[in-house]
Amino acid sequence: MKRIEFLGSPMDVATMEETVSYIEQRVSAGGFLQHVVVNVAKLVNMQKDPQLAESVKSCDVINIDGMGVVWGARLLGHRVPQRVAGVDLFHNLLAMSERNNFPIFLLGATDDVVKKTVAKSHELYPNLNIAGFNDGYFWDDEEALVDKIAQSGAKLLFVAITSPKKENFINKWQDKLGVDFVMGVGGTFDVVAGKVNRAPLWMQNSGLEWFYRVLQEPRRMWKRYLVTNSKFAWLLLKEKLGS
């Protein structure tokens, strides 16, 4: 996979197929592989949060999630074949894990949502080995949770916690998690569990998935997207004028 520098951040420009194949090879070989997807909000927040920036840049695979970043990278002359959305990659990796009998661990969201995610995952992938799961409210004893993951025998860990908490948690504990692959999946469990609906495909491809989120959760989302999208446009403009 080719890696580029975009607004001071490294990113891998790869297709979904290339990403899944690479992860499958690395997990089969053993070791440790850390993955993250970057969208507009995360890229903007990395400019002012050194800890988040370091957590992201230390990852082995950094995919572009969000059409805004894809279009921005292309505007600056980078060849980006496609967006690799976190929720789509999650499903592809569950299917890959089922084929290879790789045990997985699901971490994050509320207790109800993570249990529904486990049930839905078993429904979609009947032979999937789910070695364990836990909600995202463990901050009073992180070490006990890390031990639980390490003792589960899982090879892949999916962390559905908001940024920058998930990136910093993974970066902090990576040497003790005992897994071969870890990926932050943000709000993916909410989608899988049916708590949040995903935007129609035409909105995803048109870069309007963020707007669909605002329509579903206007109080929580409107300010976040207004601020981050405006800052991202300004960063792009400065980079374009300076190039």
pLDDT digits (tens, 9 = 90+) for 153-165: 999 999 999 989 9
DSSP state of 242: H
> To which H or E segment does residue 220 belong?
helix 218-242
CA nearest to 84, candidates 76, 73, 75:
73
**How far, in whole angstroms, is CA 158 from its chain's centroid?**
9
Q: What is the pLDDT of residue 91?
A: 98
Of 42-51, 61-70, 223-232, the least confident: 223-232
Q: pTM here?
A: 0.91
Of 57-61, 176-180, 224-228, the least confident: 224-228
Range 93-98 average pLDDT: 98
Return the amino acid letter for 180: D
Q: What is the pLDDT of residue 243?
A: 59
Range 142-146 average pLDDT: 97
DSSP SS3 for 195: coil
Structure tokens at 183: 């990926």
**Euclidean distance between CA atoms 125 and 101, whole angstroms:** 11
- SS3 letters across 87-152: HHHHHHHHHHHHHHCCCEEEEECCHHHHHHHHHHHHHHCCCCCEEEEECCCCHHHHHHHHHHHHHH
- List the domain boundaries for the chain: 2-242
Q: What is the pLDDT of residues 186-211, one digit of tens each?
A: 899 999 999 988 888 888 877 788 78
Q: What is the pLDDT of residue 88?
A: 95
Structure tokens at 66: 């969000």
